[in-house]
Structure 1
Amino acid sequence: MTRLPVAPSTRTISAAALAAALVVPGASLTAQVAPERGAAALGSALAGIGTTGRVLTVAAHPDDEDTPIIAWLARGRHVETAYLSLTRGDGGQNLIGNELGEALGAIRTQELLAARRIDGGTQYFTRAYDFGFSKNAEETYQHWPKDSILGDVVRVVRAFRPHVMIAFFSGTPRDGHGHHQVSGLLAREAYELAGDTVRFPIRDFGLPWTPQKFYRSARQAPDSATLRVNTGEYDPLLGRSYFEIAAESRSQHKSQGFGVLQRKGVIWGYLSREATRTGPADARAERSLFDGIDTTWVAIRNRVPVAAQPVLDSALQTLTLLRAEYRAANPAGVVQPLARILGQFRRVRHTLGSGPFVYINDGLGGGNSPNARRAQDEADPALWAAIATTVARTEQALVLAAGVVVEATAPRGTFPVREPVKVDVNDTLPVTVTVFNRGRAPIFLRNAGVAGIGMRGTDQGDVTIAPDSAHVMPRWAVAFASNSPWWRAKGRQQQDWFQQPIDSRDEVAQQEKVSTVLQAFVQIAGEPVTITTPVVYRYADPVKGDLQIPVSAVPGISVNLGSTMEYMRAGVPVDRDVPVRVTSSYPHEAKVAVRILLPDGLAADTVERERTLEAQGSVLVTFRVRGTIKAGRHELGAMALHEGTMSTSGPYLVAYDHITPMRLYGASGMYLSAVEVKRPPRARVGYVEGVGDAGVKALEQLDITVERLEPAMLGSTDLSRFTSIVIGPRAYETRELLVKHNARLLEYARRGGTLVVQYGAQNMNAFPGITPYPLQWAPRAARVTMEDAPVTVRQPAHPLLTSPNRIGPDDWAGWVQERATYMPSTIDSRYASLLRMNDPEEPANDGALLAAPLGKGRYVYVTLALFRQLPAGVPGAARLLANLVAGQALAIPPKM
């Protein structure tokens, strides 16, 4: 099998050129989807041409954004509106799957992008990693280098060039979360310092920018507001209010269970002005966010070269007439005028010079970057921003009015990255490009090419596409790197921030630079326009209908293990199957040799297996591993040899219906946490899984018999066959039938069973009678966020701490992220409190591990963060889990 020949096109844009392309704030290169077409989309686009105001909102996490304010600004006032989230939400919890850490951050990144597609905003991030709940700003700064994260905020301010900044948090202790406090503090510092080129040089941070106003959200304290806006305002063009749009946007945060009602009527949004460089001195005298800020074309015209002023005047006059003549049922009438004013706006832009007005860190090193040098020569970034944004919006309106749609489809969802040593493989992806003209006038197709991580095509002369027709052409994609999250390119190096620098591009542009996209170069009414769309694998699902999934460039041969961490019992004979998944992305057969590498003490039945994979096939190779392993953390690896190249990594697919799929890459290895742990005799555990729950797998790996229980089974299943039943974290919150059958679980304990309930959020108070004896949570439930916080054992002789494993000081070592979460503060005296702990300078809390007799059995409530420790292979967590499921006095409960 040889590679298909490909001829580079002289008219397409190279991957390097795309990465360094001029970026317009708010302009999106994503494909237009059905909701963004038609009269509503075109009407909004026409209304937005000429609006030049920009607002940057800032907070800490994906779920912190104020979507009603964003939607009201972006959709209602056509203001360029961006949300800067310091983190990607990596440290939170996951209500829709088991992904945690960086995988959860990838989910929440895509959820934010889904939200922005709905509310019309632009999305940015800094490099800060969400390391988990933090009590205050001081603790947060112990994890994040302040100057580095502040520098990221300044980069975004200079790239986006907002007239107004809005921080969603106060920067004070009342924000609660330390990340929230830091976001409020850094937003204000960036407002003050974004124009300081001494502290933040142009060569590293871009051209200076000075925002004119700084506000904070007053949604939690409406009486402090100096300005309020009706986010419930109805938009007859869109058929919804901005709050309804915002509610749909907010509901994209499905991993956090943040679905909200799309309420109608007047709904106020509250803002408080904290600092200003213009406008009325009395903040309460303001009528709008832009009071005192001149964003009109009068101000812009005065800064345009005199020779270009008549051209600009003509364009604006035509725009006024065009809006009056626009008819939703017949948009063809505005195509020619739109093309004419687009040409005029471009002529004005041309008079301003040729250099880009945003700084892109192209990796060439500070002042040595040609982009940095050109940026220093640009004298008026505000003017550039206004003109370039207007050009981009006019281009969008022209494409909508002309009814031009571009599709790029591929016959499969993945294709292999090119590896130079592999000469007898097919690593080229055929792409079918279809350009539809659904308008009433002909258009001209100049060329189309696949860009992003790789591109190939053949030159195409001008093709005329008549009204109500389409032109189809073949193209090919070749990838030289895998599609993977750009921010993980350099990892975190065991730090709490990502090492890959950010630059002036927003998140959509950042992701497109490592994606496979199609650029079509068309001419509409004499004006050239570039339309960019993702290359997708399109198919019909019998239930979901038309599905379009962006294609991904992946390694030709991928190797995956079932997990990244597993427990083993140390010092006892091991007999375990280790499955290795080997996948080919080649469209033909591939012969591979699969190997496994084991730590000392373990041996496989065979070291290497040969397999032939079908085209785009996958095979599971299972190695039987035996031996004895000593206590400690060990490494196990797998690899596959193909065409003289060793594959030692594989992608982990993160895919849910509401987000764009992403693949996260990691080495084809896993850690083995060998633990000296005794199994409880005769243990048989029933387990109702909770949120992000690794408990079942941990028990299985410790050779403890466990059976998954669905809440619907609890009403009819014979529970007496279990020595203990475990309820996973936050299960009552997410499993409605569990609440319904809770009385039967309590009865199981009364008859002699052990019921172990892992923590619920503060809304455990919302379920009367869910616990056998009262527990109360403070409005902000207590947490121990320091993973190494001292632990005091209050009842060292209690069976849960002695049998079958004696829990000692070593068992509290090596914990990750936090000790305990959502701890009750008021505890009924019938509970025995076994542990005491607290963060520095906070009162001790006794709610980490509670046990109470219940009839002949026992009820155990656990707020220890086992859901974080078990996936990390913490030895003490495994030993404690074995004790928790040991059962009441290690006896099997009687029949129910």
Structure 2
Amino acid sequence: MRLNKLLFFLLIGLQQSFAQPTVSSIYHGIKKLGVTGTVLYIAAHPDDENTRLITYLANDRLLRTGYLSLTRGDGGQNLIGQEQGIELGLIRTQELLAARRVDGGEQFFTRAYDFGYSKTPTETFKIWDREKILHDVVWVIRTFKPDVVITRFPTTGEGGHGHHTASAILAGEAVKAAADPTRFPEQLALTGGAWRVKRLFWNTFNFGGNSTIREDQLKIDVGGYNSLLGKSYGEIAAQSRSQHKSQGFGVPVSRGEAFEYFKLIDGASASKDIMEGISLDWGARLGSSIIQQQIDSLLLHFNWLDPKASLPGLLNLYQSLEKLEPTSIVTHKKKELKELILAVSGIYLEATSSQLRAVQGDSVQVALLAIDRLGTSVTLERAQVGEFNVVNTATALKLNKPFTVNTKFLVRPSFPISQPYWLQLPMQQGYFVVNDLYLIGKPENEAPLSCTIDLKWGTQVISYQVPVRYKFTDPVKGELQWPLEVVPPVSIQPDELVHLITAANNPIKGHAQVAGMSAQTNLKPELISNKKTKSRVDPLLISSLQKDQLESFDYFLTPKENADTVTLGVSLSNGNRVNTTTTVIRYDHIPPITYFKTASVYTRNFQVKIAGKNIGYIPGAGDKIPDGLKRLGYNITVLDENLLSTISLQQFDAIITGVRAHNTQEWLNKYHEKLMAYVEQGGNYLVQYNTSNQIGPVKAKIGPYPFAITRNRITDQDAAVVFLDPTHPVFNFPNRILPQDFEGWIQERSIYHGLDTAGKLQPLLSMADPDEKPDTGSLLVARYGKGWFTYTGLSLFRQIPAGVPGAYRLLANLLALGNVER
């Protein structure tokens, strides 16, 4: 219900998608039928979009409005949990979809992977496949067919992030390429030919202390109030932007006039409006004045007390649209119109299952429900689940009487699992591999199982696709509906993802659990090594596994190489093999996300010495450092506020904070004196990076001496590293740190460097991105009393889960500082 979803979701929330639209949203939707214009907004990441402008364009101007985010935000920060990389991209995809449900826009993506911060577009294009991502932007333009394209950022670098600038460069190139039939000609037969955008604008801005707006630029007041929606566009936009919860982007509401400024980059000049001179009605644009007259008549005669009175006119309009060539505009308006016909009729359609998931090789119960709550003399002609007919005889729906059908759908063993389409093939550096052109641009998969329901009013038959959803009742939230997912028969979960090879741990003994998604018999655990690691499993056979039951097996690995990847699998009794872990990400503000990752473990052969065993860990926004420390043999105590307030800290050889702990745990300020007393008496306090931006400014004291947190970072993970004091214990005890310990790092060297403002902290490393001056703020160490304090922006939180040897050795040395003199 794209046209209705603004008011629709404001009223009922994200997951309870079964309420009917209001009368005002129905009228709003009919108005939108009469506007044929389209605008595409382009930027680099989730949260780059201008939600206020999107809200205004979609709901005041009634334009079809889309946001193309080149990436899914995989390389960003995560304020709400431990997910990084593709898992964070999955979360941020759903946050963008939640934002669009609020502001009325549509969402698109390219195949580009957000590999983290880059400083220049040159650096960005070294990692992205420029031509491939350009192909995707052109594809979205040719399929969405915008009259106007607007970029958030300029090509000249004022946007800061290299991805930002690259998005503007690609947008400009794509506008030209989309109109050129010699560029990406394989798209033309599928898109209806090339597409010429009328204008390209840059939406100038004033944020971050950088104002690019000028009064001679075209400007529009987007701060109006919509009486149909009962909200101003600033109010709606704030709610939309606040969906980016993983980024800490909750924002205050703005009310009153608010101007957006635009600089023309390409196309015909415009002095008053971005759509100036572009025909927006059916008559002028498509030569279909009869369509425009029918819509105008629907608005003129709309009965606010009886919207059902519009049904005959809407059905006549649908018949008129059926006679037109199925252009992009006609197809989209028919989609909107179909939902409006349901809305004025008071008809509710539902296809649900009481099962959380459908399992390959098993069956799933599906319940169909159709109710004509206003009595519109509608007949249910046919219903089909997947390819199977479940209603073959026309049935007149009675006034407000539920019509239900229950059926069992067999999920073939070969039925595709619900893996997000961009994760189905191994990714390349900088982009996801997607070979199906029709999938490119889509924000997510189509529902794996849908019900086709044909409804007939008089002689008019309209077909509806109703996705099958999992329906259940939460004791607090009430009835909820979640996406139904298709999963393999079993899921394999190794206890450890990284095994460090040591004298005491060779051969490696590991443990894995097998979870039954459906009942299985005669399962055979298996191991596959990329480098001929000698392996065996015990037991060799799991004779039976019930649904929701856990069984386990041990595996033994004798690696022959310094690094190997071993895949764990299970052979089923039908001869199929499963080698995946079913992973579910759950947060209250988005639907549950299911994806599948190969059940692999990684062996790493490198030597790490440790000094001291007992480590206190203060959680931050979430990282996996504790798992890495346990692999090294440390005893980890998680220090929450209650524990930190009651125990003696002197029992710990070191205390380390999680990333952004001082941003997210305001209570830390109360224990600053206790932590500093611990250091002064010989303790060792290691603080991982904190931010200096809107994600959460530091409100607590951090160390014994004042220092500033900057936005400086080193984005080149291969940047040369200079040891400023090679004799310092950090580089010598208990492991000798050498330049090769900085080889094999991923994504970046460091972020949010410290800046010594008191002359008390010693910088130990110097490094620089290409064409920049060296920076020494990534690792700052100070003595305080008998102990040590360290602040580091080094991206250990990325390197440790990835099994980077040098990161383990360096972290072990940082944690050993309190034992240097013992």
TM-score (norm 1): 0.84
- Correspondence for 1:261: 252
User: Which one-letter code corresponds to 1:650 in the other structure?
Assistant: T
Cα deviation for residue 122 of structure 1 reads 1.0
- Correspondence for 2:149: 165
- Correspondence for 1:390: 333
Cα deviation for residue 258 of structure 1 reads 1.2
- Correspondence for 1:291: 276
- Is the CA contact 2:199–2:267 (under 8 Å) kept in the aligned structure 1? yes
1:228–1:504 CA distance, 2 compared to 1 (3 A): farther
* Secondary structure of the structure 2 residue equivalent to 1:636: strand
1:562–1:577 CA distance, 2 compared to 1 (3 A): same
- Is the CA contact 2:15–2:480 (under 8 Å) kept in the aligned structure 1? no
* Secondary structure of the structure 2 residue equivalent to 1:134: coil
- Is the CA contact 1:761–1:822 (under 8 Å) kept in the aligned structure 2? yes
Matched, 1:498 2:398: no
**2: distance between equivalents of 1:147 and 1:569?**
42
Give the one of 369, 377, 381 matched to 1:446: 381
**2: distance between equivalents of 1:629 and 1:461?**
64
1:721–1:152 CA distance, 2 compared to 1 (3 A): same
1:509–1:145 CA distance, 2 compared to 1 (3 A): closer
Matched, 1:417 2:360: yes
Q: Which moved more, 1:56-65 or 1:232-241?
A: 232-241
* Secondary structure of the structure 1 residue equivalent to 2:83: coil
* Secondary structure of the structure 2 residue equivalent to 1:108: helix
1:151–1:508 CA distance, 2 compared to 1 (3 A): closer
**2: distance between equivalents of 1:318 and 1:694?**
60
- Correspondence for 2:402: 470
1:739–1:505 CA distance, 2 compared to 1 (3 A): same
Matched, 1:199 2:183: yes
User: Which one-letter code corresponds to 1:218 in the other structure?
Assistant: T
1:630–1:754 CA distance, 2 compared to 1 (3 A): farther
- Correspondence for 2:343: 400
Give the one of 418, 422, 426 matched to 1:483: 418
TM-score (norm 2): 0.92
Cα deviation for residue 234 of structure 1 reads 1.4
User: Which one-letter code corresponds to 1:320 in the other structure?
Assistant: D
- Correspondence for 2:10: none
Give the one of 329, 343, 346 matched to 2:319: 343
For each residue in 1:251-276, what CA deviation from the matched residue of structure 2 results, as whole angstroms up to 9, or x when unmatched? 11111111122333333333222322
- Is the CA contact 2:569–2:599 (under 8 Å) kept in the aligned structure 1? yes
**1: distance between equivalents of 2:442 and 2:697?**
41
Matched, 1:649 2:580: yes
- Is the CA contact 1:195–1:210 (under 8 Å) kept in the aligned structure 2? yes
* Secondary structure of the structure 2 residue equivalent to 1:762: coil
1:431–1:94 CA distance, 2 compared to 1 (3 A): same
- Is the CA contact 2:508–2:558 (under 8 Å) kept in the aligned structure 1? no
Cα deviation for residue 655 of structure 1 reads 2.6
Q: Which stretches in structure 2 are left out of the alignment for 5+ residues? A: 7-13, 207-211
- Is the CA contact 1:25–1:160 (under 8 Å) kept in the aligned structure 2? no
1:397–1:92 CA distance, 2 compared to 1 (3 A): same
1:673–1:128 CA distance, 2 compared to 1 (3 A): same
For each residue in 1:577-605, what CA deviation from the matched residue of structure 2 results, as whole angstroms up to 9, or x when unmatched? 6332212232x454423345689888778
Cα deviation for residue 725 of structure 1 reads 0.5
- Is the CA contact 1:561–1:668 (under 8 Å) kept in the aligned structure 2? yes
Q: Which stretches in structure 1 are left out of the alignment for 5+ residues? A: 1-22, 305-311, 357-383, 419-426
Cα deviation for residue 213 of structure 1 reads 1.1
1:149–1:826 CA distance, 2 compared to 1 (3 A): same
RMSD (CA atoms) = 2.8
Cα deviation for residue 628 of structure 1 reads 7.5
1:436–1:736 CA distance, 2 compared to 1 (3 A): farther
Q: Which moved more, 1:541-550 or 1:137-146?
A: 541-550
* Secondary structure of the structure 2 residue equivalent to 1:755: strand
- Is the CA contact 1:25–1:80 (under 8 Å) kept in the aligned structure 2? no
Count of residue pairs brought into register by the alignment: 801
Matched, 1:243 2:234: yes
Matched, 1:552 2:536: no
User: Which one-letter code corresponds to 1:437 in the other structure?
Assistant: D
**2: distance between equivalents of 1:445 and 1:797?**
82
For each residue in 1:656-702, what CA deviation from the matched residue of structure 2 results, as whole angstroms up to 9, or x when unmatched? 2222333222222211223201121x421000122341110001011
* Secondary structure of the structure 2 residue equivalent to 1:783: coil
Matched, 1:662 2:593: yes
- Is the CA contact 1:571–1:631 (under 8 Å) kept in the aligned structure 2? no
Query: 1:202-601 residue pairs with structure 2 within 5 A?
Result: 203=187, 206=191, 207-220=193-206, 221-223=212-214, 226-277=217-268, 281=269, 283=270, 285-286=271-272, 288-302=273-287, 312-313=289-290, 315-347=291-323, 349=324, 352=325, 384-418=327-361, 427-451=362-386, 455-477=387-409, 478-479=411-412, 480-492=415-427, 494-501=428-435, 503=437, 511-512=445-446, 515-524=448-457, 526-563=459-496, 565-573=497-505, 578-586=510-518, 588=519, 590-595=521-526
1:248–1:579 CA distance, 2 compared to 1 (3 A): farther
- Is the CA contact 1:567–1:698 (under 8 Å) kept in the aligned structure 2? no
- Is the CA contact 1:152–1:502 (under 8 Å) kept in the aligned structure 2? no
- Correspondence for 2:814: 884
Cα deviation for residue 157 of structure 1 reads 0.6
- Correspondence for 1:852: 782
* Secondary structure of the structure 1 residue equivalent to 2:262: strand
Cα deviation for residue 728 of structure 1 reads 1.2
1:321–1:775 CA distance, 2 compared to 1 (3 A): same
- Is the CA contact 1:825–1:845 (under 8 Å) kept in the aligned structure 2? no
**Percent of aligned pairs with the same residue?**
32
* Secondary structure of the structure 2 residue equivalent to 1:174: coil
* Secondary structure of the structure 2 residue equivalent to 1:468: coil
Give the one of 161, 186, 194 matched to 2:170: 186
Cα deviation for residue 508 of structure 1 reads 5.5
User: Which one-letter code corresponds to 2:299 in the other structure?
Assistant: R
Greater relative contact order structure (CA < 8 Å, 6+ sep): 1
